[in-house]
Amino acid sequence: MKAFQYATAHSPDSARQLVADNGAYLAGGNDLLGLLKEYLVTADPLVNIKSLPGLNKIEDGRKAWTIGALVTIAQIENHADIKKTFPGLHEAASEIASLQIRNVATVGGNLAQHSRCWYFRQRDVKCLKKHGDLCYARSSENRYHSLFTGNDCISPVVSSLATTFAALDASAIVLRDGKELRWSMAELYAEAWKNPYAHNSLQPGDLIVRVEIPTARSRSAYMQISDKHAFDWALVSCAAAAEIADGKMKSPRVALGSISPVPHQSEAANSFLDGKVLDDATATQAADMILKDAKPLEHNAYKMPMAQALIRRTLLKLKGDA
Ligand SMILES: Cc1cc2nc3c(=O)[nH]c(=O)nc-3n(C[C@H](O)[C@H](O)[C@H](O)COP(=O)(O)OP(=O)(O)OC[C@H]3O[C@@H](n4cnc5c(N)ncnc54)[C@H](O)[C@@H]3O)c2cc1C
Ligand code: SF4
Protein backbone atom coordinates (compact mmCIF):
# COMPACT_ATOMS: atom_id res chain seq x y z
CA MET A 1 0.00 0.00 0.00
CA LYS A 2 1.30 3.46 -0.88
CA ALA A 3 1.66 5.96 1.96
CA PHE A 4 -1.22 8.42 2.15
CA GLN A 5 -2.54 11.23 4.29
CA TYR A 6 -5.68 10.65 6.30
CA ALA A 7 -8.38 13.15 7.21
CA THR A 8 -11.83 13.04 8.78
CA ALA A 9 -14.57 15.18 7.24
CA HIS A 10 -17.35 16.66 9.40
CA SER A 11 -19.50 18.15 6.63
CA PRO A 12 -20.11 17.30 2.95
CA ASP A 13 -18.42 20.56 1.92
CA SER A 14 -15.29 19.79 3.93
CA ALA A 15 -15.30 16.23 2.53
CA ARG A 16 -15.30 17.66 -0.99
CA GLN A 17 -12.51 20.10 -0.21
CA LEU A 18 -10.37 17.49 1.54
CA VAL A 19 -10.77 14.84 -1.16
CA ALA A 20 -9.68 17.34 -3.87
CA ASP A 21 -8.67 15.67 -7.16
CA ASN A 22 -6.67 12.67 -5.96
CA GLY A 23 -8.33 11.56 -2.73
CA ALA A 24 -10.99 8.93 -2.01
CA TYR A 25 -13.88 8.70 0.41
CA LEU A 26 -13.57 5.99 3.04
CA ALA A 27 -16.86 4.56 4.33
CA GLY A 28 -16.90 0.96 5.66
CA GLY A 29 -13.59 0.28 3.89
CA ASN A 30 -14.53 -3.26 2.77
CA ASP A 31 -13.76 -2.58 -0.85
CA LEU A 32 -11.48 0.45 -0.73
CA LEU A 33 -8.87 -0.90 1.68
CA GLY A 34 -8.41 -4.03 -0.45
CA LEU A 35 -8.01 -1.90 -3.57
CA LEU A 36 -5.39 0.25 -1.82
CA LYS A 37 -3.46 -2.74 -0.45
CA GLU A 38 -3.31 -4.29 -3.91
CA TYR A 39 -2.14 -0.98 -5.49
CA LEU A 40 -5.30 -1.00 -7.65
CA VAL A 41 -6.21 2.54 -6.65
CA THR A 42 -4.29 5.34 -5.00
CA ALA A 43 -5.90 7.81 -2.63
CA ASP A 44 -4.17 10.81 -1.21
CA PRO A 45 -5.70 11.83 1.06
CA LEU A 46 -8.03 9.14 2.32
CA VAL A 47 -11.06 11.03 3.61
CA ASN A 48 -13.04 9.31 6.33
CA ILE A 49 -16.70 10.24 5.77
CA LYS A 50 -18.16 8.20 8.62
CA SER A 51 -18.66 11.30 10.79
CA LEU A 52 -20.74 13.19 8.23
CA PRO A 53 -23.86 14.21 10.12
CA GLY A 54 -27.30 12.85 9.23
CA LEU A 55 -26.20 10.34 6.60
CA ASN A 56 -26.69 7.28 8.80
CA LYS A 57 -30.46 7.60 9.07
CA ILE A 58 -33.41 5.77 7.54
CA GLU A 59 -36.44 8.05 7.27
CA ASP A 60 -39.91 6.91 6.26
CA GLY A 61 -42.31 9.06 4.31
CA ARG A 62 -45.73 8.65 2.75
CA LYS A 63 -44.48 9.01 -0.84
CA ALA A 64 -40.81 8.07 -0.44
CA TRP A 65 -38.30 6.75 2.07
CA THR A 66 -34.82 8.19 2.46
CA ILE A 67 -31.81 6.03 3.21
CA GLY A 68 -28.60 7.91 4.04
CA ALA A 69 -25.40 6.90 2.26
CA LEU A 70 -23.79 5.87 5.58
CA VAL A 71 -26.62 3.55 6.60
CA THR A 72 -25.11 0.09 6.95
CA ILE A 73 -26.45 -2.94 5.13
CA ALA A 74 -27.21 -4.50 8.55
CA GLN A 75 -29.36 -1.47 9.43
CA ILE A 76 -31.46 -2.15 6.32
CA GLU A 77 -31.58 -5.87 7.01
CA ASN A 78 -32.73 -5.38 10.61
CA HIS A 79 -35.24 -2.59 10.04
CA ALA A 80 -38.68 -4.11 10.72
CA ASP A 81 -40.57 -1.50 8.68
CA ILE A 82 -38.26 -1.88 5.68
CA LYS A 83 -39.02 -5.59 5.78
CA LYS A 84 -42.73 -4.75 5.60
CA THR A 85 -42.57 -1.87 3.12
CA PHE A 86 -39.75 -3.01 0.81
CA PRO A 87 -39.40 -6.78 1.35
CA GLY A 88 -37.19 -7.07 -1.75
CA LEU A 89 -34.70 -4.60 -0.25
CA HIS A 90 -34.65 -6.54 3.01
CA GLU A 91 -34.01 -9.78 1.08
CA ALA A 92 -31.18 -8.23 -0.97
CA ALA A 93 -29.50 -6.77 2.12
CA SER A 94 -29.66 -10.04 4.03
CA GLU A 95 -27.95 -11.94 1.17
CA ILE A 96 -24.93 -9.63 1.00
CA ALA A 97 -21.54 -11.08 2.05
CA SER A 98 -21.52 -11.97 5.77
CA LEU A 99 -22.89 -10.51 9.00
CA GLN A 100 -19.50 -8.97 9.87
CA ILE A 101 -19.32 -7.19 6.49
CA ARG A 102 -22.97 -6.09 6.58
CA ASN A 103 -22.35 -4.51 10.01
CA VAL A 104 -19.85 -2.02 8.55
CA ALA A 105 -20.54 -1.86 4.80
CA THR A 106 -22.54 1.20 3.79
CA VAL A 107 -25.13 1.95 1.13
CA GLY A 108 -22.85 4.52 -0.60
CA GLY A 109 -19.88 2.11 -0.60
CA ASN A 110 -22.03 -0.74 -1.87
CA LEU A 111 -23.25 1.33 -4.83
CA ALA A 112 -19.74 2.64 -5.60
CA GLN A 113 -17.83 -0.65 -5.19
CA HIS A 114 -15.38 -1.44 -7.98
CA SER A 115 -15.36 -4.27 -10.51
CA ARG A 116 -14.91 -7.82 -9.16
CA CYS A 117 -13.35 -9.05 -12.42
CA TRP A 118 -10.40 -11.24 -11.41
CA TYR A 119 -8.15 -9.64 -14.04
CA PHE A 120 -8.97 -6.21 -12.65
CA ARG A 121 -8.30 -7.42 -9.08
CA GLN A 122 -4.91 -8.93 -10.01
CA ARG A 123 -2.37 -6.18 -9.42
CA ASP A 124 0.08 -7.37 -12.12
CA VAL A 125 -2.48 -7.49 -14.92
CA LYS A 126 -3.02 -4.26 -16.82
CA CYS A 127 -6.29 -4.93 -18.59
CA LEU A 128 -8.38 -2.45 -20.55
CA LYS A 129 -10.15 -1.16 -17.42
CA LYS A 130 -6.72 -0.22 -16.02
CA HIS A 131 -5.88 1.58 -19.29
CA GLY A 132 -4.16 -1.41 -20.85
CA ASP A 133 -4.84 -2.57 -24.41
CA LEU A 134 -6.92 -5.69 -23.90
CA CYS A 135 -9.89 -7.13 -22.08
CA TYR A 136 -8.39 -10.47 -21.04
CA ALA A 137 -11.72 -11.85 -19.88
CA ARG A 138 -13.24 -11.68 -23.38
CA SER A 139 -11.04 -14.43 -24.75
CA SER A 140 -10.29 -16.23 -21.49
CA GLU A 141 -11.92 -16.78 -18.07
CA ASN A 142 -15.31 -15.09 -18.37
CA ARG A 143 -17.63 -17.25 -16.28
CA TYR A 144 -18.55 -14.37 -13.93
CA HIS A 145 -18.94 -11.75 -16.65
CA SER A 146 -21.69 -9.89 -18.51
CA LEU A 147 -24.33 -11.04 -20.97
CA PHE A 148 -24.83 -7.41 -22.05
CA THR A 149 -22.37 -4.53 -22.41
CA GLY A 150 -22.00 -1.32 -24.36
CA ASN A 151 -18.19 -1.38 -24.53
CA ASP A 152 -15.22 -3.75 -24.66
CA CYS A 153 -15.08 -4.33 -20.88
CA ILE A 154 -17.44 -7.15 -19.85
CA SER A 155 -17.29 -6.65 -16.09
CA PRO A 156 -20.82 -6.49 -14.59
CA VAL A 157 -22.19 -4.34 -11.77
CA VAL A 158 -22.42 -6.58 -8.69
CA SER A 159 -24.16 -4.31 -6.19
CA SER A 160 -27.21 -6.20 -4.91
CA LEU A 161 -28.64 -2.95 -3.58
CA ALA A 162 -28.40 -1.34 -7.03
CA THR A 163 -30.42 -4.20 -8.54
CA THR A 164 -33.17 -3.77 -5.95
CA PHE A 165 -33.12 0.02 -6.06
CA ALA A 166 -33.54 -0.20 -9.86
CA ALA A 167 -36.66 -2.37 -9.51
CA LEU A 168 -38.05 0.04 -6.89
CA ASP A 169 -37.25 3.01 -9.17
CA ALA A 170 -35.12 4.59 -6.44
CA SER A 171 -32.88 7.61 -7.03
CA ALA A 172 -29.35 8.20 -5.80
CA ILE A 173 -28.76 11.78 -4.70
CA VAL A 174 -25.21 12.78 -5.56
CA LEU A 175 -23.51 15.94 -4.34
CA ARG A 176 -21.34 17.46 -7.08
CA ASP A 177 -19.66 20.81 -6.47
CA GLY A 178 -22.31 21.91 -3.96
CA LYS A 179 -25.29 20.87 -6.14
CA GLU A 180 -27.50 17.83 -5.66
CA LEU A 181 -27.95 15.60 -8.71
CA ARG A 182 -30.77 13.05 -8.76
CA TRP A 183 -29.88 9.90 -10.66
CA SER A 184 -31.83 6.75 -11.46
CA MET A 185 -29.82 3.55 -11.05
CA ALA A 186 -29.53 3.47 -14.86
CA GLU A 187 -27.89 6.92 -14.70
CA LEU A 188 -25.64 5.97 -11.77
CA TYR A 189 -24.05 3.27 -13.95
CA ALA A 190 -24.57 4.77 -17.44
CA GLU A 191 -20.88 5.68 -17.73
CA ALA A 192 -19.84 2.07 -17.03
CA TRP A 193 -22.08 0.97 -19.89
CA LYS A 194 -20.23 3.03 -22.48
CA ASN A 195 -16.77 3.61 -21.00
CA PRO A 196 -14.47 0.63 -20.25
CA TYR A 197 -12.50 2.61 -17.62
CA ALA A 198 -15.55 3.52 -15.50
CA HIS A 199 -17.11 1.53 -12.65
CA ASN A 200 -20.04 3.96 -12.43
CA SER A 201 -20.91 7.54 -13.38
CA LEU A 202 -19.32 9.17 -10.31
CA GLN A 203 -16.56 11.68 -11.00
CA PRO A 204 -13.75 12.42 -8.53
CA GLY A 205 -15.25 14.30 -5.57
CA ASP A 206 -18.86 13.20 -6.23
CA LEU A 207 -20.47 12.13 -2.96
CA ILE A 208 -23.56 9.92 -2.76
CA VAL A 209 -25.54 11.43 0.12
CA ARG A 210 -28.73 9.37 0.12
CA VAL A 211 -31.07 7.13 -1.80
CA GLU A 212 -34.77 7.93 -2.14
CA ILE A 213 -37.23 5.08 -2.68
CA PRO A 214 -40.80 5.80 -3.81
CA THR A 215 -43.46 3.85 -1.93
CA ALA A 216 -45.58 3.45 -5.11
CA ARG A 217 -44.77 -0.28 -5.38
CA SER A 218 -45.95 -2.13 -2.28
CA ARG A 219 -44.81 -5.55 -3.52
CA SER A 220 -41.14 -6.31 -4.05
CA ALA A 221 -38.94 -9.37 -4.12
CA TYR A 222 -35.27 -10.25 -4.63
CA MET A 223 -33.54 -13.53 -5.43
CA GLN A 224 -29.97 -14.43 -6.29
CA ILE A 225 -27.91 -17.49 -7.12
CA SER A 226 -24.28 -17.67 -5.97
CA ASP A 227 -21.56 -20.32 -6.05
CA LYS A 228 -21.49 -20.30 -2.24
CA HIS A 229 -24.45 -20.10 0.10
CA ALA A 230 -22.93 -17.10 1.97
CA PHE A 231 -19.96 -14.73 1.77
CA ASP A 232 -20.18 -14.51 -2.00
CA TRP A 233 -21.42 -12.23 -4.77
CA ALA A 234 -24.32 -13.26 -7.00
CA LEU A 235 -23.75 -15.10 -10.30
CA VAL A 236 -27.10 -13.60 -11.28
CA SER A 237 -29.52 -11.59 -9.16
CA CYS A 238 -33.06 -10.44 -9.87
CA ALA A 239 -35.36 -7.91 -8.22
CA ALA A 240 -38.96 -7.15 -9.10
CA ALA A 241 -41.40 -4.58 -7.74
CA ALA A 242 -45.00 -3.61 -8.51
CA GLU A 243 -48.33 -2.60 -7.09
CA ILE A 244 -50.93 -5.36 -7.41
CA ALA A 245 -54.59 -4.28 -7.61
CA ASP A 246 -57.49 -6.62 -8.46
CA GLY A 247 -54.88 -9.30 -9.16
CA LYS A 248 -53.23 -7.15 -11.88
CA MET A 249 -49.74 -5.66 -11.84
CA LYS A 250 -49.36 -1.91 -11.87
CA SER A 251 -46.08 -0.12 -12.76
CA PRO A 252 -44.01 -3.32 -12.60
CA ARG A 253 -40.23 -3.20 -12.87
CA VAL A 254 -37.74 -6.03 -13.11
CA ALA A 255 -33.97 -5.59 -12.81
CA LEU A 256 -31.08 -8.03 -13.00
CA GLY A 257 -27.61 -7.80 -11.49
CA SER A 258 -24.25 -9.41 -12.37
CA ILE A 259 -25.08 -9.63 -16.09
CA SER A 260 -24.40 -6.08 -17.34
CA PRO A 261 -22.41 -2.98 -16.28
CA VAL A 262 -25.80 -1.44 -15.35
CA PRO A 263 -28.70 -3.09 -13.51
CA HIS A 264 -30.28 -4.73 -16.56
CA GLN A 265 -33.84 -3.65 -17.33
CA SER A 266 -36.16 -3.94 -20.31
CA GLU A 267 -38.73 -1.18 -20.73
CA ALA A 268 -40.56 -3.44 -23.24
CA ALA A 269 -40.91 -6.19 -20.62
CA ASN A 270 -42.03 -3.70 -17.95
CA SER A 271 -44.73 -2.37 -20.33
CA PHE A 272 -45.74 -5.91 -21.30
CA LEU A 273 -46.25 -6.83 -17.61
CA ASP A 274 -48.24 -3.69 -16.81
CA GLY A 275 -51.91 -4.58 -16.24
CA LYS A 276 -51.29 -8.33 -16.52
CA VAL A 277 -52.33 -11.01 -14.04
CA LEU A 278 -49.14 -12.76 -12.97
CA ASP A 279 -48.94 -16.39 -13.96
CA ASP A 280 -46.21 -18.73 -15.10
CA ALA A 281 -46.74 -18.10 -18.84
CA THR A 282 -46.65 -14.30 -18.42
CA ALA A 283 -43.53 -14.45 -16.24
CA THR A 284 -41.80 -16.73 -18.78
CA GLN A 285 -42.69 -14.41 -21.66
CA ALA A 286 -41.33 -11.43 -19.71
CA ALA A 287 -38.10 -13.33 -19.04
CA ASP A 288 -37.69 -14.01 -22.78
CA MET A 289 -38.14 -10.29 -23.50
CA ILE A 290 -35.66 -9.25 -20.80
CA LEU A 291 -32.95 -11.59 -22.07
CA LYS A 292 -33.70 -11.15 -25.79
CA ASP A 293 -30.48 -9.38 -26.82
CA ALA A 294 -28.09 -11.19 -24.47
CA LYS A 295 -24.71 -12.18 -25.89
CA PRO A 296 -23.35 -15.07 -23.85
CA LEU A 297 -19.59 -15.66 -23.93
CA GLU A 298 -17.66 -18.92 -24.02
CA HIS A 299 -17.96 -19.66 -20.28
CA ASN A 300 -21.02 -17.75 -19.06
CA ALA A 301 -23.89 -19.14 -21.15
CA TYR A 302 -25.02 -20.97 -17.98
CA LYS A 303 -26.26 -17.56 -16.78
CA MET A 304 -29.05 -17.61 -19.40
CA PRO A 305 -31.24 -20.40 -17.94
CA MET A 306 -30.30 -19.16 -14.47
CA ALA A 307 -31.54 -15.64 -15.26
CA GLN A 308 -34.64 -17.02 -16.98
CA ALA A 309 -35.55 -19.07 -13.88
CA LEU A 310 -34.75 -16.20 -11.49
CA ILE A 311 -36.95 -13.72 -13.37
CA ARG A 312 -39.86 -16.15 -13.38
CA ARG A 313 -39.47 -17.07 -9.70
CA THR A 314 -38.94 -13.49 -8.53
CA LEU A 315 -42.02 -12.30 -10.41
CA LEU A 316 -44.16 -15.13 -9.01
CA LYS A 317 -42.78 -14.35 -5.54
CA LEU A 318 -44.40 -10.91 -5.87
CA LYS A 319 -47.79 -12.56 -5.50
CA GLY A 320 -46.50 -15.18 -3.08
CA ASP A 321 -46.30 -18.18 -5.48
CA ALA A 322 -42.56 -18.97 -5.47
C1 LIG B 1 -16.83 -11.83 0.52
C2 LIG B 1 -17.65 -10.67 0.09
C3 LIG B 1 -18.90 -10.89 -0.47
C4 LIG B 1 -19.67 -9.82 -0.91
N5 LIG B 1 -20.91 -10.06 -1.46
C6 LIG B 1 -21.64 -9.02 -1.92
C7 LIG B 1 -22.92 -9.21 -2.52
O8 LIG B 1 -23.43 -10.33 -2.64
N9 LIG B 1 -23.60 -8.12 -2.96
C10 LIG B 1 -23.10 -6.87 -2.86
O11 LIG B 1 -23.75 -5.93 -3.26
N12 LIG B 1 -21.90 -6.65 -2.30
C13 LIG B 1 -21.17 -7.69 -1.83
N14 LIG B 1 -19.95 -7.46 -1.26
C15 LIG B 1 -19.39 -6.09 -1.34
C16 LIG B 1 -19.68 -5.28 -0.14
O17 LIG B 1 -21.07 -5.14 0.03
C18 LIG B 1 -19.05 -3.94 -0.44
O19 LIG B 1 -17.67 -4.11 -0.44
C20 LIG B 1 -19.41 -2.92 0.57
O21 LIG B 1 -20.79 -2.69 0.49
C22 LIG B 1 -18.68 -1.66 0.37
O23 LIG B 1 -19.15 -0.75 1.33
P24 LIG B 1 -18.14 0.07 2.23
O25 LIG B 1 -18.94 1.04 3.01
O26 LIG B 1 -17.26 -0.85 2.96
O27 LIG B 1 -17.33 0.85 1.07
P28 LIG B 1 -15.84 1.37 1.00
O29 LIG B 1 -14.93 0.21 0.81
O30 LIG B 1 -15.53 2.32 2.10
O31 LIG B 1 -15.94 2.17 -0.36
C32 LIG B 1 -16.13 1.51 -1.61
C33 LIG B 1 -15.99 2.55 -2.74
O34 LIG B 1 -17.07 3.46 -2.66
C35 LIG B 1 -16.60 4.80 -2.50
N36 LIG B 1 -17.57 5.44 -1.62
C37 LIG B 1 -17.92 5.05 -0.37
N38 LIG B 1 -18.94 5.82 0.08
C39 LIG B 1 -19.21 6.73 -0.89
C40 LIG B 1 -20.15 7.78 -1.02
N41 LIG B 1 -21.04 8.08 -0.05
N42 LIG B 1 -20.14 8.51 -2.16
C43 LIG B 1 -19.28 8.23 -3.16
N44 LIG B 1 -18.37 7.23 -3.09
C45 LIG B 1 -18.35 6.49 -1.98
C46 LIG B 1 -15.21 4.66 -1.91
O47 LIG B 1 -14.39 5.77 -2.20
C48 LIG B 1 -14.73 3.39 -2.63
O49 LIG B 1 -14.30 3.66 -3.92
C50 LIG B 1 -19.19 -8.49 -0.77
C51 LIG B 1 -17.95 -8.27 -0.18
C52 LIG B 1 -17.18 -9.34 0.25
C53 LIG B 1 -15.85 -9.05 0.88
S1 SF4 C 1 -13.82 -7.47 -18.09
FE2 SF4 C 1 -13.13 -5.37 -17.79
S3 SF4 C 1 -12.06 -5.50 -15.84
FE4 SF4 C 1 -12.16 -7.61 -16.65
S5 SF4 C 1 -10.35 -7.98 -17.94
FE6 SF4 C 1 -11.93 -7.16 -19.26
S7 SF4 C 1 -11.49 -4.94 -19.28
FE8 SF4 C 1 -10.50 -5.78 -17.47
Q: What is the chain's pLDDT, residue by residue, as a tens digit (322 residues)?
A: 888 999 999 999 999 999 999 999 999 999 999 999 999 999 999 999 999 999 999 999 999 999 999 999 999 999 999 999 999 999 999 999 999 999 999 999 999 999 999 999 999 999 999 999 999 999 999 999 999 999 999 999 999 999 999 999 999 999 999 999 999 999 999 999 999 999 999 999 999 999 999 999 999 999 999 999 888 999 999 999 999 999 999 999 999 999 999 999 999 999 999 999 999 999 999 999 999 999 999 999 999 999 999 999 999 999 875 4
Taking the CA of residue 145 as reference, the ligand 2 atom at the shortest distance is: 1
Cα separation, 280 vs 266, whole angstroms: 19
For β-strands 207-214 and 179-184, DSSP reports them as unpaired
Pocket test for ligand 2, best of 38, 126, 133, 135 (most atoms within 8 A of CB): 135
The ligand minimizing its distance to the Cα of 192 is: 2
Q: Is the pTM of this model over 0.95?
A: yes
Whether the Cβ atoms of residue 67 and residue 76 lie closer than 8 Å to each other: yes
pLDDT at residue 248, rounded to an integer: 96
- Show the ligand 2 pocket: residues with CB < 6 angstroms: 115, 117, 119-120, 127-129, 135-137, 145, 153-155, 196
Q: Ligand 1 pocket, 46 CB below 6 A?
A: no
Q: Ligand 1 pocket, 108 CB below 6 A?
A: yes
CATH number of 1-52: 3.30.43.10
3-state class (DSSP) for residue 282: helix
Angle between helices 87-95 and 160-167 (to 10 degrees): 170
CA gyration radius, the chain: 19
Q: Ligand 1 pocket, 254 CB below 6 A?
A: no
Taking the CA of residue 161 as reference, the ligand 1 atom at the shortest distance is: 11
Cα–ligand 2 centroid distance for 301 (angstroms): 18
pLDDT at residue 261, rounded to an integer: 98
Q: Where are the domains of the chain?
A: 1-52, 58-112+155-318
Q: Ligand 1 pocket, 88 CB below 6 A?
A: no
Region of 131 (left: φ > 0; alpha: ψ -120 to 50; beta: rest) is: left
CATH class assigned to 58-112+155-318: alpha beta
Q: Ligand 1 pocket, 232 CB below 6 A?
A: yes
pLDDT at residue 320, rounded to an integer: 73
